[in-house]
Structure 1
Amino acid sequence: MAVLWTATANSAEINGKPSAQWTDWPVVGQATLSWFWLDIYSSQLRTPDGHYQQDSDVTPHPVALEIRYLRDISRDQLLEATQDQWHKLGYNESSSDQWLDALTSMIPDVKAGERLVYVSDGLSGQMYYFTQQGQQRLLGSVANEQMNDAFLSIWLSPKTEYPKLRNQLIGMNR
């Protein structure tokens, strides 16, 4: 199970500067993660021009990753899944432990219909939480570029555990 984030705020700030209206960005691709017959979440990737530039850097340009949960998932389950994905992607344990500590204060329990959104300028990012009623809250910021890339690598790295989902998100299956 991969970790999930989502968005639908009108604007965001990264490193204290307003970012573009990412909700107006075109959708690059969308995908649903299922485990056997259970749908876990649906996701969308957005960029300013509607295209994902494949590069050795997972986030060479601004992106917004939106994840809408289709079932209730606890914070502990999300954090455990994140750690598991980082391990599978080959990140060293000392770095991933530090990143996980930073995420612990950001990640909430999520209920079906709620969304987590991660908006990145390519170097840093911010995570937002949206309730079923559409209320939004900034959960926190990621200023470390390696952590920013590691988080998005769960979905966007060519080495992801879910290559079909990645291909759908980055628009390769259009």
Structure 2
Amino acid sequence: MIEGVSKTEFRNAMARVCAPVNIITTNGPAGRGGFTATAMCSVTDEPPTLLVCMNSRSAQTSMFLENKRFCVNVLTPEHRDLANLFAGGSADMEARYAAAHWIEMVGGTQALADAIVSFDCELEDLHKVGTHHVLIGRVESLRSRVDGAALAYFDRNYVHVDGARAS
């Protein structure tokens, strides 16, 4: 008999996977929202598409689904406090947005002005898997910097990636 992997074992193992820290924003008829996520990756480059995982129990879920748009903002170490602000449930959305400078993208989503890269996406597909929604977004525009270090999450702590090449 094959034994399954427990929730705790899986979470502890995933803590050992280094992931970029992102703020995912939305703006549209349902309002403006945002949350911090590490579950983001590219899907394909033809057409440019990425995915984001969002807890389906989040109070913002319906907002993201109704707006059908989101922006993935990849953070730098200077955004650590902003990442915490968007991760917590205590600050209202206006306070979260007031803590940084934002630029409106072509699709109306909010891009963090000094993010390493911001991907403006239209929600193309949606899948519910366990406790999360997997949002599939077609990238319609992007903004990118050529400088700056990345903020990552590893072993339940923030770390920064400076772009130095391993030898």
TM over 0.5: no
TM-score normalised over the length of structure 1? 0.28
Q: Which has the higher Rg, Structure 1 or Structure 2?
A: 2
Q: Could you say which structure has the higher strand fraction?
A: 2
Q: Could you say which structure has the higher helix fraction?
A: 1
